Amino acid sequence: MKVELYEATDQNPNLKNYDEAVKNFDWNEVEKNFSWYETGKYNMAYEAIDKHVENGLADKVALHYKNGETHSSYTFDELKKASNKAANVLKDEAGVVKGDRVFIFMARSPELYFSLLGALKVGAIVGPLFEAFMEKAVRDRLENSDAKVIITTPELLPRIPMDDLPNLEKVVVVGDGVEGDYLDFDKSFENASDEFDIEWLDKEDGMILHYTSGSTGQPKGVLHVQQAMVQHYISGKYVLDLKEDDVYWCTADPGWVTGTSYGIFAPWLNGATNVVVGGRFSPEAWYGAIQNLNITIWYSAPTAFRMLMGAGDEIVKDYDLSSLRHVLSVGEPLNPEVVKWGMKVFNLRIHDTWWMTETGAHMIVNFPSMDIKGGSMGKPLPGTEAAIIDDEGNELPPNRMGNLALKKGWPAMMRKIWKNDAKYDSYFIGDWYVSGDSAYMDEEGYFWFQGRVDDVIMTAGERVGPFEIESKLVEHPAVQEAGVIGKPDPVRGEIVKAFIAIREGFDQTDELKEEIRVFVKEGLAAHAAPREIEFKDKLPKTRSGKIMRRVLKAWELDLPAGDLSSMDDE
Ligand code: WT7
């Protein structure tokens, strides 16, 4: 296949020469940018917000929040004060102390950012939850982490389980109109002092807990620590290319790691103006945001770009997008087709970035100063090492496909899987962290994504575990057995497809399919609900009774099913 090459045109990027940077890179030099380098006292919220107030950026806009006609802006000074107020509320009225797990379950709003920063100032470990989660998903996460406090809004309150969670001491509600034994955030916030003594932490203290899916078992809690900020900062500088006058927009929700590492930490550690757009996706709202806020740097995902592509090139002409200078993508393979489209409509290269919840920050990316090979994820962040290894941990030569692996020890690497040390250990072969992706590296050191090694599904940039969906499906009275796979889809990358064997006494009807789909949507999460359901009399299983998703996938794609020796003859 012919590879399109897109040459670097940016005359003055923060990282000017990749090879030089790799040669001279020293994490210790990066650490000198933080006040804890002198004081030894760590707190992400201080480095991201308060420090800038002391260093001349007090009146610079830190946050633009836009949702339909609503637009509000907050300076670094205002954000410092608002997060101090939130910290006082959490400490004094919800009893939060260092190390407590505080969950934040709400749609994007300024209060989400105030309370997340406030929780960090108190020294809590923050657990952000995507607003689409339903009761079971919320319960699993609160239970696993022994969460003490959850902050939410009246709309989402009914999804918070009130029983059997002995550690959950306080439910904090943002927005009025609810009666009951809740802490009224707005009222307390209003009366709280805007001064707060930050809780100082150590570099290995917990900071943020993101739950993510694997191919087996319940979602796992990936813990990141304060030290991660070193990599958030430098990747914000080198990869996002953040500079003083930039207006930066990351489209991801803080319920996912992109929405915290690059929707909160990286931009603010670099003192940038950060844009948050609430509400639903529409080409008009998105192009409108870029135009009206003069956004210069835009970080989004292939699914979003493909939806914009689908909306046509004409609509782009209705907007003045000339403020844009740098565009990036993450979450799924960025098709060469999409990069080509980006050149056509924005006259800009879309820079692919590869990383994972577990890595905490960028690992393999396309830098502004680097030529882009359409379809490649780029090269490793200076200071990190990536390789393709076989299942024994041996490095493979260029152009050989294998496990994409990273050398242990980068600052933003997860430090544990909450309450599951065995799972954590299973990620490593010797000194290598094994990603679960397969890839190859070409002679020039560019990495090329090939697929997942396991059964994890990436749909519209969101990672869903088949096991979690299968478990929900079999709770439905009509479902005997279920197997879930990702089916390739032109817009979403993959969609969730479920194969279902139903119980006797039920009919294989379209109504039943719809009922089952809604059951998952309302019981687990909208993005996890199967978009396609197929009834089967029986599902392929191993002799030990494990559903063989590999065979389901082969059926779906009309491929040979491979080795069937472990399949149950029945
Ligand atoms: C998985 C991690 C942290 C970013 C959001 C997703 C896939 C991520 C790319 C890319 C191809 C990608 C991988 C990875 N992925 N970026 N640029 N090209 N695939 O984080 O939910 O932890 O998922 O997303 O399969 O393992 P996540």
Give tens-digit pLDDT for 397-421. 999 989 999 999 999 999 999 999 9
283-286, Cβ contacts within 8 angstroms, sequence gap of 24 or more: 283/307, 283/308, 283/311, 283/315, 284/315, 285/68, 286/251
Q: Map residue 229 onto helix, strand or coil.
A: helix
Ligand 1 pocket, 449 CB below 6 A? yes
| Four-way CATH pick for 5-441: 3.30.1360.120, 2.60.40.10, 3.40.50.12780, 3.20.19.10 | 3.40.50.12780
Helices (H), 368-410: none
Q: What is the mean pLDDT of residues 223-247?
A: 97
User: For residues 390 and 403, is the Cβ–Cβ distance under 8 A?
Assistant: yes
- Closest residue to atom 16 of ligand 1, CA basis: 331
State the distance from the centre of ligand 1 to the C-alpha of 195, rounded, in angstroms.
Answer: 39
Strand partners, 438: 403, 451
Q: What is the pLDDT of residues 58-108, one digit of tens each?
A: 999 999 999 999 999 999 999 999 999 999 999 999 999 999 999 999 999
Instruction: Provide the pLDDT for residue 450.
Output: 87
Instruction: Provide the pLDDT for residue 299.
Output: 98
Q: How confident is the model at residue 45 (pLDDT cuts 50, 70, 90)?
A: very high
* Model-level ipTM above the cut of 0.85: yes
Q: Domain segments of the chain: what residues?
A: 5-441, 456-557
Q: How confident is the model at residue 215 (pLDDT cuts 50, 70, 90)?
A: confident
State the distance from the centre of ligand 1 to the C-alpha of 435, rounded, in angstroms.
Answer: 10
State the distance from the centre of ligand 1 to the C-alpha of 391, rounded, in angstroms.
Answer: 21
Q: How confident is the model at residue 258 (pLDDT cuts 50, 70, 90)?
A: very high
- Closest residue to atom 21 of ligand 1, CA basis: 463
Instruction: Provide the pLDDT for residue 566.
Output: 64
State the distance from the centre of ligand 1 to the C-alpha of 458, rounded, in angstroms.
Answer: 8
Our measurement of the distance from residue 108's CA atom to the centroid of its chain's CA atoms, rounded to an integer in Å, reads 14
State the distance from the centre of ligand 1 to the C-alpha of 377, rounded, in angstroms.
Answer: 11
Closest approach atom of ligand 1 to CA 359: 3
Ligand 1 pocket, 332 CB below 6 A? yes
pLDDT beyond 60 at 569: no
Instruction: Provide the pLDDT for residue 103.
Output: 98
Give whole-number Cα distances, 104 to 11, 39, 154, in Å.
41, 30, 13
Closest approach atom of ligand 1 to CA 352: 17
Highest mean pLDDT range out of 2-11, 94-103, 497-506? 94-103
Q: How confident is the model at residue 568 (pLDDT cuts 50, 70, 90)?
A: low
- Closest residue to atom 5 of ligand 1, CA basis: 331
State the distance from the centre of ligand 1 to the C-alpha of 356, rounded, in angstroms.
Answer: 5
Q: How confident is the model at residue 10 (pLDDT cuts 50, 70, 90)?
A: confident
Amino acid at site 162: M
Q: What is the pLDDT of residues 149-199, one digit of tens each?
A: 999 999 999 999 988 899 999 999 999 878 899 999 999 999 999 999 999
pLDDT beyond 70 at 448: yes
State the distance from the centre of ligand 1 to the C-alpha of 386, rounded, in angstroms.
Answer: 15
State the distance from the centre of ligand 1 to the C-alpha of 338, rounded, in angstroms.
Answer: 17
Between residues 126 and 468, the one the model is more confident about:
126
pTM metric for this prediction: 0.91
State the distance from the centre of ligand 1 to the C-alpha of 153, rounded, in angstroms.
Answer: 29
State the distance from the centre of ligand 1 to the C-alpha of 475, rounded, in angstroms.
Answer: 29
Closest approach atom of ligand 1 to CA 364: 17
- Closest residue to atom 18 of ligand 1, CA basis: 333
Instruction: Provide the pLDDT for residue 11.
Output: 85
State the distance from the centre of ligand 1 to the C-alpha of 268, rounded, in angstroms.
Answer: 23
Among 356, 406, 448, the mutation site with the greatest number of ligand 1 atoms within 8 A of its Cβ is 356
User: For residues 245 and 375, is the Cβ–Cβ distance under 8 A?
Assistant: no
Instruction: Provide the pLDDT for residue 489.
Output: 93
Closest approach atom of ligand 1 to CA 435: 26
State the distance from the centre of ligand 1 to the C-alpha of 274, rounded, in angstroms.
Answer: 23
Between residues 453 and 268, the one the model is more confident about:
268
Instruction: Provide the pLDDT for residue 546.
Output: 75
Torsion of CA 322, 328, 331, 337, to 10 degrees: 70
Give whole-number Cα distances, 466 to 53, 199, 252, 530, in Å.
46, 40, 22, 10
State the distance from the centre of ligand 1 to the C-alpha of 528, rounded, in angstroms.
Answer: 17
Amino acid at site 526: A
Instruction: Provide the pLDDT for residue 565.
Output: 65
pLDDT beyond 60 at 570: no
Ligand 1 pocket, 330 CB below 6 A? yes
Please identify which residue in the block is written with the tokens 């962290």.
Answer: 433
Ligand 1 pocket, 259 CB below 6 A? no
Q: What is the mean pLDDT of residues 506-527?
A: 95
Ligand 1 pocket, 331 CB below 6 A? yes
Instruction: Provide the pLDDT for residue 542.
Output: 74
State the distance from the centre of ligand 1 to the C-alpha of 303, rounded, in angstroms.
Answer: 12
User: For residues 361 and 232, is the Cβ–Cβ distance under 8 A?
Assistant: yes
Q: What is the CA radius of gyration of the chain?
A: 24
Ligand 1 pocket, 333 CB below 6 A? yes
Q: How confident is the model at residue 246 (pLDDT cuts 50, 70, 90)?
A: very high
Closest approach atom of ligand 1 to CA 451: 25
Ligand 1 pocket, 494 CB below 6 A? no
Among 449, 453, 459, 527, the mutation site with the greatest number of ligand 1 atoms within 8 A of its Cβ is 449
Ligand 1 pocket, 402 CB below 6 A? no
Instruction: Provide the pLDDT for residue 451.
Output: 84
pLDDT beyond 90 at 462: no
Q: Map residue 172 onto helix, strand or coil.
A: strand
Instruction: Provide the pLDDT for residue 463.
Output: 87
Question: If one looks up domain 456-557 in CATH, what number appears?
Answer: 3.30.300.30
pLDDT beyond 70 at 1: no
Q: What is the mean pLDDT of residues 137-158?
A: 97
Ligand 1 pocket, 436 CB below 6 A? yes
Ligand 1 pocket, 258 CB below 6 A? yes
Amino acid at site 7: E
State the distance from the centre of ligand 1 to the C-alpha of 210, rounded, in angstroms.
Answer: 14
State the distance from the centre of ligand 1 to the C-alpha of 60, rounded, in angstroms.
Answer: 33
Ligand 1 pocket, 458 CB below 6 A? yes
Q: What is the mean pLDDT of the chain?
A: 94
Instruction: Provide the pLDDT for residue 544.
Output: 66
Instruction: Provide the pLDDT for residue 452.
Output: 85
Instruction: Provide the pLDDT for residue 179.
Output: 87
pLDDT beyond 90 at 131: yes
- Closest residue to atom 1 of ligand 1, CA basis: 356
pLDDT beyond 60 at 333: yes
